[in-house]
Structure 1
Amino acid sequence: MPEPRIHGREFVRTFFTTPTAEQGVDDSAKKLRKAIQLRGMQAPDVWVPDNEDATAPNMRDEGAENIAEVVADDGAGFPGEIHPRVVWHRDDPSTRYKGLQHMLEIADPEKGAVDDIDGFVIPEVGDIDDWKKADEFITIVENEYGLEEGSLKMSVIIESGQAELAMGELRDEMGKPTNNLERLFLLVDGEVDYTKDMRAITPTGGLPEWKELRHNTSRGASAAGLISVDGPFDDIRDVEGYKDRITANAAMGMLGIWSLTPGQVEVANKTPLPPQEGYWTVEADGRTVELDDEGDAQVYNGERIDLEKEGETYELEVGGDELVLDEDELREELVDLTAYVPSMDDIVDSMEEFESAKEAGKGAIAMSRSATVRIDGVEIDIQSDRMWDEATYQAMMTPVKLFKDVYSNRPDQHDALAEMYGEGVVERALDVGL
């Protein structure tokens, strides 16, 4: 069994990288100085001054100096955690040694930054022995400067088959007296280098989705008491695609994602949280479509579903499938096709109702939600019922725990959360589950 979690955060939504030094400009640390001033929803949970891929090799020594200088000047005011990424490679001792030198530069107490450095991000790790080398190097840094062992966190980027397999060994290795792997914090997917390592080919040259890698990283993090984070979403203009990726990840327990711009940070900070308003969806020929709330009805205005009433029967067409149904059969079909996405207020209402039922000695209660659905002018009333027991309650506690974790660790986002949900809902959300 791994040692209990030693880090305070249970969730990380955003992992934002910034180049540490740029050549040919008056101030090579300009982007670092701008990023460290981010606040509110544009500020990430974890900021990563990136002294590896985002910074040219001939600028990395200066990049390490820039990190120390910028964090010393403004790190105390940054609302998230600060985890510089240093160079590392499982097959190259000279690269690992350079990473150690950069960590020593950044963490030197005389530079004034180490009090605001939360840990380091180690890329290109290999098998579990390589993870132990990185841990040992960070232990060396701590001992060099009189820091408490384990006080600097270590996050790794899963960019190889070796690293993916190593996640399965963490439960056996963490907590042994021969290492300080309890310092591990984030497991971050790096799909680009992983694709290269796997020698994968796609017809377009684009990246495979690597759903299995994301699942394995989420599972590895859960088993070892860590936090999983997805890799970069390169199409920064595709906001809806980014949201869809975050939503798909959340369904497998991976609530964090790499962010490349402050705009992506804002999207990734908000998307895993319950929505401000609840809404109905319908499965329309393989696509989940949000219904339009027109007050008296939830309306489908697309072209993938057709509904006509012929006398006492209804003709429902979804994609190429046609069904002739009576009213009760249509109602059952629409109940199967539709779903309700609860708001934070809805979730808190349900949890409070279940808590009251438990106090009254009930082990399970039915929660109902009804709506009028309108398709092609034809209306039908539906009602969905869900049985709530203790297991349901605990599952629904996850988004509330996420909210509480954000509220506790990100005071700079309190105003934004109050604006999203209202002060009353925020207070009630903080109270449920106590």
Structure 2
Amino acid sequence: MSVSRNYEREFVRTFFTSPTAVEGEDDSAKMLRRAAELRGMQAPDVWIPDNEDATAPSMRDEGAENIVEVVAENGADFPGEIHPRIVWHREDPTTRYQGFQYMLEIADPDNGAVEHIDGFVVPEVGDIDDWKKADEFLTIVEREHGLEEGSLSMSVIVESGEAELAMGDLREEMGKPSNNLQRMFMLVDGEVDYTKDMRAMTPTGELPPWPELRHNTSRGASAAGLIAVDGPYDDIRDVEGYRERMKENRAKGMTGIWSLTPGQVEVANKAPLPPKEGSWLLRFDGKEVELRSEDGREVYDGDAVELEEASDGTYELEVGNDEFELDEDGLHEKLVDMTAYVPSMDDIVDSMEEFEAAKESGKGAIAMTQSATVVIDGIEVELSKDRMWDEATYQAAQTPITLFQDVYEHRPDQHEELEELYGSDVVERATDVGA
């Protein structure tokens, strides 16, 4: 079944939440005002004024008023999308009704905010019938206020086993005349409440990693033509851990991640983009070590891999506890297997342009050559490997470029930083290639 989508973005890198009302402050909306002023790489693709978990229950009425005030004043200049999170619960009709009332208030055109609001985020959903209830409330809100039907998107936070299973029903349900679920935009993981719902325990009390949930959310989003977003990474000082989490997610097809601070937003905005410079990796014992570039050579500085040349011209290669006696061809073959290249933005664009030119001349596949001089323990080894490019390879390589093009189209506030990073020539070519 073909699903008609109601939004333009292909990717969301950052999902940034802000409390809507802070108790004990002269200005309870101060966190909203700070978030509304974010620009460039510190501004998220999607901003979530959070009138649920981030805001105390006693402050939520004021929080809804703050959303209206701040978005009405600042929404026109905010560079990302704005999706307030309202209260909801699959087992509590009172909470669902309260969320409906907040949506009515926030979306009232007389309040001046709805023209800048792209949709709502619904937490704590259950089975697919519960998703339909939220969708029906949004339809009522649109009709009550004279808004175009389907103009407000709906995103859900997957925080229960019921919601996880519902993702498997979504593709079949979207597009039926009895609902407006084609308004769906993002599927967002909420691992904390999911852990509670699953009654899961770890010896340390830390959250389980839940790779299955992230895979299922990515798969559900792909099947329904939606966007998948990972949940929050609570250790805001662990930048490398945050980057590693995003790297694992991208291998599952999940580009977006929850961001708790402007610092995390900046990291998450940049992480999925192709690097400025290419780099070589040495792979061994389940690890990847980036080689140091020096004078056109790729140097390994560690001690887990050792290389020595014997008097008869053979080589002794030690990798951890394994030892190999190799001739020159054997060493080349072994190091080709142990190395990988991470292409730069310029490299990807070059390869795509070369393949496009070959395709225009009637060729269905071409060989792309990668070469490097790798240095281990002072011994230089010339490496060369060929990779066949066909249409499938081209389409796979196009994904990071499509991401870049999506960012460039929807985030003009980041143009200057992107040109500083890559150079104006590379940016221009990257926006044109694959079109």
TM-score normalised by L of structure 2: 0.99
CA separation in 1, counterparts of 2:272 and 2:42?
A: 15
Contact residue 6 and residue 151 of structure 2 kept, 8 A = no
Give me the CA root mean square deviation.
Answer: 0.8
Q: Which residue of structure 1 lines up, in the alignment, with residue 406 of structure 2?
A: 405
CA separation in 1, counterparts of 2:160 and 2:327?
A: 56
Contact residue 349 and residue 433 of structure 2 kept, 8 A = yes
Q: Which residue of structure 1 lines up, in the alignment, with residue 394 of structure 2?
A: 393
List alignment gaps of at least 5 residues for structure 1. none
CA separation in 2, counterparts of 1:56 and 1:418?
A: 42
- The alpha carbon displacement at 1:2 in A equals 4.4
CA separation in 1, counterparts of 2:193 and 2:316?
A: 51
Q: Which residue of structure 2 lines up, in the alignment, with residue 152 of structure 1?
A: 152
Offset from partner CA, 1:11-68 (integer Å, 9 cap, x none): 0000000000011110000000000000000000000000000001100110000000
The one-letter code sitting in structure 1 at the alignment partner of 2:154 is M
The one-letter code sitting in structure 1 at the alignment partner of 2:54 is A
SS where residue 62 of structure 2 aligns?
Answer: helix
List alignment gaps of at least 5 residues for structure 2. none
CA separation in 1, counterparts of 2:295 and 2:339?
A: 17
CA separation in 2, counterparts of 1:4 and 1:390?
A: 26
Q: Which residue of structure 1 lines up, in the alignment, with residue 315 of structure 2?
A: 314
Q: Which residue of structure 1 lines up, in the alignment, with residue 276 of structure 2?
A: 276
SS where residue 356 of structure 1 aligns?
Answer: helix
Offset from partner CA, 1:104-148 (integer Å, 9 cap, x none): 111111111000010000000000000000001111111110001
Note the 1:116-135 alignment, pairs <5 A.
Answer: 116-135=116-135
Contact residue 6 and residue 153 of structure 2 kept, 8 A = no
Does 1:201 pair with 2:204? no
SS where residue 362 of structure 1 aligns?
Answer: coil
Once the two structures are overlaid, the 10-residue window that deviates more, 196-205 or 259-268, is 196-205
SS where residue 58 of structure 1 aligns?
Answer: helix
Q: Which residue of structure 1 lines up, in the alignment, with residue 429 of structure 2?
A: 428
Offset from partner CA, 1:285-344 (integer Å, 9 cap, x none): 221111100123101111221111122121111121111111111111111111000011
CA separation in 1, counterparts of 2:172 and 2:398?
A: 29
Offset from partner CA, 1:318-372 (integer Å, 9 cap, x none): 1211111111111111111110000110000000000110111110000001001
Note the 1:25-424 alignment, pairs <5 A.
Answer: 25-311=25-311, 312-424=313-425
The one-letter code sitting in structure 2 at the alignment partner of 1:377 is G
Contact residue 2 and residue 170 of structure 1 kept, 8 A = no
CA separation in 2, counterparts of 1:78 and 1:303?
A: 50
CA separation in 2, counterparts of 1:119 and 1:5?
A: 13
The one-letter code sitting in structure 1 at the alignment partner of 2:230 is D
The one-letter code sitting in structure 2 at the alignment partner of 1:383 is S
SS where residue 241 of structure 2 aligns?
Answer: helix
SS where residue 175 of structure 1 aligns?
Answer: coil
CA separation in 2, counterparts of 1:238 and 1:103?
A: 36
Offset from partner CA, 1:230-273 (integer Å, 9 cap, x none): 00011111111111111111111100000000010001001101
CA separation in 2, counterparts of 1:2 and 1:258?
A: 29
- The alpha carbon displacement at 1:284 in A equals 3.2
Once the two structures are overlaid, the 10-residue window that deviates more, 15-24 or 2-11, is 2-11
SS where residue 275 of structure 1 aligns?
Answer: coil
SS where residue 273 of structure 1 aligns?
Answer: coil
The one-letter code sitting in structure 2 at the alignment partner of 1:230 is D
CA separation in 2, counterparts of 1:304 and 1:17?
A: 43
CA separation in 2, counterparts of 1:128 and 1:2?
A: 19
- The alpha carbon displacement at 1:281 in A equals 0.7
Contact residue 300 and residue 374 of structure 1 kept, 8 A = yes
SS where residue 358 of structure 1 aligns?
Answer: helix
SS where residue 234 of structure 1 aligns?
Answer: coil
SS where residue 331 of structure 1 aligns?
Answer: helix
CA separation in 2, counterparts of 1:191 and 1:244?
A: 17
Aligned structure 1 segments of 4 or more residues deviating by more than 6 angstroms: none
CA separation in 2, counterparts of 1:303 and 1:241?
A: 24
- The alpha carbon displacement at 1:201 in A equals 1.1
The one-letter code sitting in structure 1 at the alignment partner of 2:274 is P
The one-letter code sitting in structure 2 at the alignment partner of 1:294 is E
Percent identity over paired residues: 74
CA separation in 2, counterparts of 1:344 and 1:222?
A: 25
Contact residue 2 and residue 225 of structure 1 kept, 8 A = no
CA separation in 2, counterparts of 1:62 and 1:269?
A: 31
CA separation in 1, counterparts of 2:134 and 2:165?
A: 17
Contact residue 2 and residue 174 of structure 1 kept, 8 A = no
Contact residue 308 and residue 316 of structure 1 kept, 8 A = yes
SS where residue 299 of structure 2 aligns?
Answer: strand
